Structure 1
Amino acid sequence: MRISGNRLFAACALFSVVCAAIPENVQAKAPSGNTLHIDIEASISQRCGISALGSNSNDSGRIDEPTRIAFRFGLDCNTPFKIGVAAQNGALQLVGTNSQSAGTAGFAYRKNYVAGLQFNTDQTGLVAAGECASSTLTSANTNCRFYGSEPGSGLFSGRNTTAIGREGELTVTWQGEESDAVRLAAGAYQEILTIIVAPST
């Protein structure tokens, strides 16, 4: 069969179009259903921290006078948490003595105090945890509701309760010497309080 020059060109042109269309026809697939599910996952890591707002030490001057000291701290917990307070001595202790020292020559070496705790949360506002005698801040076998010496112990913030960029306050109060059965020995007295926060498990 003979094809003229014009017909040969037309045939080749048509063939080229067909060839170019074949790959797209191969790639296109007929839909297999009427629903397409897309799974997207994302997350936010738990965090719970505490920081001092101002000085975390205080020299009140006179231990024999009524005194109230307040320590402010920042809270940043994006998950329900527990906050605990623990004391090293359970009293203001005369430096250079130990907790077993009862005092000699008619003088005492320890001064009891009261600790109070409060903090703000995102959902409930101010949480007043109450007050605890210093002697209850050294053992879990006491009735202090916010005693805690390790992460995960202490007062529970509440279910679904967070504290992002919030503040809290720990107060320490003691009475004057008129409340002491035995006069305190002269010298410097010290106590170390530790506040611990951690996600509630």
Structure 2
Amino acid sequence: MRAGLAAAMLSVVFAGQASALERPLPTPNDRTDITYEVTGVISPRCAIDQESHQASFGQILDQQTGGNVARQIDLSFSIDCNSPFQLRMESQNGGLSTDMQGAAVFRRLIPYQAALTVDGRRRGLECTSTQMAASGRDGCNVKFTAERGARNAAGALQLSLDASPAPLLAGRYQDRIVVQISPLVGGDRD
């Protein structure tokens, strides 16, 4: 019986070697490794935030002329953008406007100037309220293409009224200013 068991074990060993010999041996052209190119994408993202949503020039009546006095307002905001970006300013009324009706001799619109900067850089955006009321390329916008983005950048918006002796109607004068940020991608950078 021992001889039968030894013969059975020997045939299992030879059978295992035979199946190993049936596999082809690797050739110099056979690959022994593989490679993966792994990538990811970060989409452009911009955000703008402000602390205060309202501002006032206060009393702007020039008691001597009936026109308006010179005034200035300084506003602040912050920008977070992971790519070059564009800023655009828009004015709803094209100046401080009133709904009051009166004789044609009275002005119902007070134009102003707006100056916008980011992180105190000289390059910024300066427009009149009339320009800010225009749309498209004629509007008030600037591209920050040299920057690689802005992380928690401080923005400043300065609004200025020039003194004017032209008479104004009594009432509340107001405008709505929108500062818009958008990432620049591809051909937008020119």
- TM class by shorter chain equals 0.7 to 0.9
- The CA distance in 2 between the partners of 1:108 and 1:174, in whole Å, is 14
Gaps of 5+ in 1: 148-153
Deviation at 1:14, TM superposition (A): 4.0
1:133 is matched with which residue? Answer: 128
For 1:45, the aligned partner's letter is S
Distance (whole Å) between structure 2 residues aligned to residue 106 and residue 92 of structure 1: 17
Contact 2:125–2:142 (Cα < 8 Å) also in 1? no
Structure 2 residue aligned with 1:191: 175
Structure 2 gaps, min length 5 = 62-68
- Superposed, 1:112-151 pairs within 5 Å as 112-120=111-119, 126=121, 128-139=123-134, 147=140
1:92-151 Cα shifts (integer Å, max 9, x gaps): 111x25xxx8x626432221211010113xxxx73531422222212258977xx1xxxx
Residue identity over aligned pairs, in percent, reads 24
Cα contact 2:56–2:73 (8 A) shared by 1: no
Q: Which residue of 2 aligns with 1:80?
A: 84
Calculate the TM-score normalised by the size of structure 1.
0.70
Cα distance in 2 for residues equivalent to 1:79 and 1:48 = 8
Identify the residue that residue 46 of structure 1 maps to in structure 2. Answer: 44
Which residue matches 2:60?
Answer: 63
Query: So what's the TM-score if we normalise by structure 2?
Result: 0.74
Aligned residue number for residue 66 of structure 2: none
C-alpha distance 48-142 of structure 1, shift in aligned 2 (>3 A): closer
- Two-structure CA RMSD over aligned residues (Å): 3.3
The count of aligned residue pairs is 176
C-alpha separation between the residues in 1 aligned to 2:18 and 2:157? 78
Whichever residue aligns with residue 110 of structure 1, its letter is L
